[in-house]
Copies of this chain bind each other. A is one copy, B any other.
């Protein structure tokens, strides 16, 4: 299976420069220097053996090939964005599905997470379970359970409970331990687990 795939980084530079007809403006949009955009576009043109821009002293013009390529690349970016959003909604807007083991579930308010306005913004639902596989299968976003288990690829945050003999484990997938949702849930847990007497 052979694809002919230019470097995405070079395509990103091309697409932004082509929309703006300016390396400078593209650089501003991409958050890099104009020199970097210029280098990437030049690298793309070299790899293709086709010029995509006519350089003018104060800006750019697209060649015929550049004009043909731009809408195609824009479409590719949109398709890729859509596909990515579909399987992995933006972490910042993602509402967590939380798994709570029975022991922890019993320590939390019956209407958890609705008892707290802030928490409710971050949590879609919670179910009573200790099943780690639900994390591996992307069915849950985090799981709070007593220690132990083959976590393998998952990320573990130890929740120390002053009145409990054993720590609890907040388990989630890689890349999600530091987000606002995890922090809000951990803070709420800390509050409830510290208050509940043995």
Contacts and interface: CB of A to CB of B under 8 A. Distances in A.
Interface stretch (A72-80, A99-107, A116-124): A72-80
Contacts of A9: 8
A76 B48 CA distance: 19
Interface residues of A, number: 58
Given A54-B136, A55-B152, A83-B73, A78 B3 contact: yes
Number of copies: 2
A143 to B, nearest CB: 13
Contacts of A68: 86-87
Interface of A: 1, 3-9, 11-12, 16, 19, 29, 42, 45-51, 54-55, 63-66, 68-69, 72-73, 75-81, 83-88, 90-91, 94, 135-138, 152-153, 173-176, 179
20 contacts: A1-B16, A3-B12, A3-B81, A4-B85, A5-B8, A5-B12, A5-B81, A7-B8, A45-B173, A45-B174, A47-B175, A48-B84, A49-B173, A49-B176, A50-B173, A54-B137, A64-B138, A68-B86, A69-B83, A76-B83
